[in-house]
């Protein structure tokens, strides 16, 4: 009987609880984002708690593609950060277990999650999206609950505005009502003023019943005088003690049919998406061929595209060959040949025909563009089935090595790093999605842009973690930058006591040796091309090595000098020689040579 290794069991037992916790936390966060987005469409409509709970359940399922990669990233960061902080990764490496071997059970687990994510995207998510959007649209169309405020107009009833001065919360009686009924149009507004009243729904909740008392009604009778132009239009005034009014107001919650939503791209699996894309593409291609044939076969200057020939075998239709003009076309003669029409009329007719043709083909292009848009939306949904699984794998290979490098557990630093990386991923992913949706880039480029950007990051972190490289070692980056630029400030100081005194002859010897090697290096750089120069700057050559050795010999020897001027010049020498330093080094050498030649001239032994 096969039994897993204790290390593998330990890694799974460490990772799984953290992953489950972070997944539900991330799912709750994105679900709250959904709630704040649609809260205005849900509040104040008297929806049953079961309907709201059903909407949140389907919304949670649709938010899984956003929460799952973030949960994997955060869980892997926390798990390996805790192991690194407690030196358990160090103990594993000391016992001969590499980081990749320790990650092996989790890699298998993440691959299983990626396979499950693909199955979820293809089979469960389309059903959940259909049900969620159908339920959401049904809730949007539901009329709001009757909650009329005091001293403000209530306009949630179509065509009706109600103003209430005071409302008795115990009895529900409304006092000093003003009702503006504009359901017949603004020209036929009906105004009702009442001392008090009550508003209630009919038992079937399809109509609103207004019981109003002690009031007056004013109604414009413009409709009865249609076609009569008069400044004094008749109106009707009615005084009543009690009046009942029925207003159409459907307060029931009616679910929409899901069949229409199933036909959209959000409700299709891979097979259905492929079938829809193929059918739309075939329709676009056939329509484009028809439009192209129309343009190609359209006659110009009364010259037909096809020519009919009578042969012994029957009538044959062939295309016209190219027609060449014997002489340039005289446009003025065209205007004179049309008797009875002036030049402006002919031009206007030609422009009218040209505009009609242009508008016709613009309309046809818009029809084709709508089909192309549907192809892009279906193609985007098709690639989404795969990008989630790939994103889960990439985020694990970013989070696990990064946690092993950072070696910080808990929720603090891993959470910050996870949020920053996920925001970068989300921005890139949305940018690619919008560009693919608008047709500015291909669907493959747009939908796989975020994966293409983050994949090298995952490879880099994994390589660094396996080789124990210091990704966040600032000194290493400073050293690399200094090596790249060859710039660093020396801090030599004059010595009060030295064992080896600097003599003019020795100084001139090391200066001349370095100057000779510097001239040779300068000549070799002149003969290099750009890439060779870049390689020589980064990795060096034999001549640059000899020149650096000569410069270090010069600096080591002259550093024993007691003269402040010599030490000041030595501090201007770089740690690495680059082409931009050639003139500086030559000037320094010349300045030192002059000083030591003057000193040698003052020596009595040299006179």
The 10 Å Cβ neighbour count of residue 298 is 10
Dihedral sign (CA 591, 593, 594, 600): positive
Question: Is there a single domain that holds both residue 131 and residue 12?
Answer: yes
Question: Is there a single domain that holds both residue 131 and residue 186?
Answer: no
For β-strands 235-248 and 153-157, DSSP reports them as unpaired
| Whole-model pTM over 0.85 | no
Mean pLDDT confidence for 392-405: 88
- Tell me the pLDDT band of 20, cut-offs 50, 70 and 90: very high
Tens digits of residue pLDDT in 198-215: 877 777 666 777 888 888
pLDDT in the model for residue 116: 92
- Tell me the pLDDT band of 2, cut-offs 50, 70 and 90: very low
Residue ending a domain, choose from 412, 439, 466: 466
Expressed as residue numbers, the domain containing 461 is: 6-141+381-466
CA–CA distance, 56 with 62 (Å, rounded to integer): 10
Q: Is residue 52 part of a domain?
A: yes
What Rg, from alpha-carbon coordinates, does the chain have?
Answer: 42
CA–CA distance, 146 with 127 (Å, rounded to integer): 34
Tens digits of residue pLDDT in 66-101: 889 989 988 898 888 888 888 888 888 888 888 888
Q: Does residue 299 register a pLDDT over 80?
A: no
Phi-psi category of 343—alpha, beta or left, where left has phi over 0 and alpha has psi -120 to 50? alpha
Q: Does residue 456 register a pLDDT over 60?
A: yes
Mean pLDDT confidence for 485-492: 62
Question: Is there a single domain that holds both residue 458 and residue 554?
Answer: no
Q: Does residue 251 register a pLDDT over 60?
A: no
Q: Does residue 230 register a pLDDT over 60?
A: no
Question: Contact 41/8 with Cβ under 8 angstroms?
Answer: no
> Which DSSP symbol is given to 222?
G
Burial zone of 111 (CB within 10 Å; 0-12 exposed, 13-18 middle, 19+ buried): middle
Mean pLDDT confidence for 257-269: 80
Tokens found for residue 548: 């650096």
CA–CA distance, 219 with 94 (Å, rounded to integer): 94
Question: Is there a single domain that holds both residue 79 and residue 105?
Answer: yes
Q: Which residue has the higher pLDDT, 551 or 499?
A: 551
Q: Is residue 357 part of a domain?
A: no
Question: Is there a single domain that holds both residue 104 and residue 203?
Answer: no
pLDDT in the model for residue 548: 86
Tokens found for residue 365: 């292009």
Question: Is there a single domain that holds both residue 123 and residue 25?
Answer: yes
CA–CA distance, 539 with 536 (Å, rounded to integer): 5
- Tell me the pLDDT band of 225, cut-offs 50, 70 and 90: very low
> Which DSSP symbol is given to 303?
B
Give me the chain's average pLDDT, please: 79
CA–CA distance, 421 with 222 (Å, rounded to integer): 66
- Tell me the pLDDT band of 119, cut-offs 50, 70 and 90: very high
Mean pLDDT confidence for 36-51: 73
Residue ending a domain, choose from 466, 490, 520: 466
CA–CA distance, 165 with 193 (Å, rounded to integer): 12
pLDDT in the model for residue 24: 92
pLDDT in the model for residue 589: 87
Tens digits of residue pLDDT in 147-180: 677 888 877 677 788 888 888 877 778 888 888 8
Chain position carrying tokens 């209530």: 154
The 10 Å Cβ neighbour count of residue 179 is 22
pLDDT in the model for residue 1: 45
Question: Is there a single domain that holds both residue 537 and residue 586?
Answer: yes
CA–CA distance, 534 with 423 (Å, rounded to integer): 36
Question: Is there a single domain that holds both residue 535 and residue 572?
Answer: yes
Q: Does residue 605 register a pLDDT over 70?
A: no
Question: Contact 569/474 with Cβ under 8 angstroms?
Answer: no
Q: Does residue 333 register a pLDDT over 80?
A: no
């Amino acid at each position: 009987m096969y039994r897993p290794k204790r290390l593998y069991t330990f890694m799974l037992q460490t990772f799984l609880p953290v992953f489950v916790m972070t997944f539900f936390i991330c799912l709750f966060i994105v679900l709250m984002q959904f709630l704040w987005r649609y809260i205005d469409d849900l509040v104040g409509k008297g929806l049953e708690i079961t309907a709201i709970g059903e909407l949140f359940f389907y919304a949670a399922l649709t938010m899984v593609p956003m929460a799952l990669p973030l949960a994997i990233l955060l869980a892997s960061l926390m798990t390996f950060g805790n192991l690194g902080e407690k030196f358990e990764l160090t103990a594993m490496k000391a016992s001969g277990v590499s980081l990749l071997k320790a990650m092996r059970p989790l890699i298998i687990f993440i691959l299983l999650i990626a396979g499950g994510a693909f199955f979820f995207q293809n089979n469960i998510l389309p059903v959940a999206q259909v049900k969620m959007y159908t339920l959401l649209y049904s809730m949007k169309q539901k009329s709001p609950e009757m909650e009329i405020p005091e001293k403000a107009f209530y306009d949630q009833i179509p065509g009706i505005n109600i103003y209430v001065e005071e409302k008795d919360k115990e009895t529900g009686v409304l006092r000093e009502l003003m009702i503006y009924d504009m359901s017949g149009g603004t020209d036929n507004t009906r105004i009702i003023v009442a001392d008090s009243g009550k508003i209630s729904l009919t038992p079937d909740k399809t109509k609103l019943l207004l019981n109003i008392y002690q009031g007056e009604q004013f109604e414009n009778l413009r409709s009865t005088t249609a076609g009569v132009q008069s400044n004094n239009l008749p109106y009707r005034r009615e005084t009543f003690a009690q009046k009942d009014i029925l207003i159409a107001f459907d307060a029931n919650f009616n679910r929409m049919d899901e069949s229409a939503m199933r036909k959209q791209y959000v409700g299709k699996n891979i097979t259905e998406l492929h079938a829809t894309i193929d059918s739309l593409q075939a329709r676009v291609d056939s329509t484009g061929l028809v439009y192209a044939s129309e343009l190609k076969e359209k006659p110009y200057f009364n010259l037909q595209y096809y020519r009919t020939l009578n042969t012994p075998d029957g009538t044959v239709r062939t295309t016209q060959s190219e027609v060449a003009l014997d002489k340039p076309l005289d446009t003025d003669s065209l205007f004179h040949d049309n008797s009875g029409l002036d030049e402006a009329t002919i031009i206007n007719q030609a422009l009218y025909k040209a505009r009609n043709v242009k508008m016709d083909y613009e309309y046809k292009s818009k029809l084709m563009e709508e089909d192309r848009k549907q192809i892009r939306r279906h193609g985007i949904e098709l690639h989404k089935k795969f990008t989630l699984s790939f994103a889960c794998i990439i985020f694990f290979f970013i989070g696990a090595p990064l946690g092993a490098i950072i070696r910080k557990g808990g929720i603090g630093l891993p959470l910050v790093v996870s949020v920053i990386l996920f925001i970068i991923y989300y921005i890139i992913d949305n940018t690619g999605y919008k560009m693919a949706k608008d047709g500015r880039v291909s669907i493959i480029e747009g939908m796989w842009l975020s994966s293409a950007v983050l994949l090298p990051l995952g490879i880099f972190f994994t390589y660094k973690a396996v080789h124990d490289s210091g990704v966040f070692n600032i000194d290493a980056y400073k050293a690399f930058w200094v090596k790249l630029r060859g710039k660093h400030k020396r801090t030599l100081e004059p010595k009060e006591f030295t064992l080896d005194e600097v003599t003019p002859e020795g100084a001139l010897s090391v200066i001349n040796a370095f100057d000779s090697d510097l001239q040779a290096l300068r000549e070799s750089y002149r003969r290099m091309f750009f890439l060779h120069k870049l390689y020589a700057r980064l990795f060096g050559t034999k001549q640059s090595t000899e020149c650096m050795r000569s410069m270090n010999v010069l600096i080591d020897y002259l550093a024993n000098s007691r003269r402040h001027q010599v030490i000041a010049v030595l501090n201007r020498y770089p740690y690495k020689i680059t082409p931009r330093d050639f003139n500086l080094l030559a000037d320094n050498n010349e300045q030192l040579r002059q000083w030591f030649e003057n000193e040698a001239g003052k020596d009595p032994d040299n006179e």
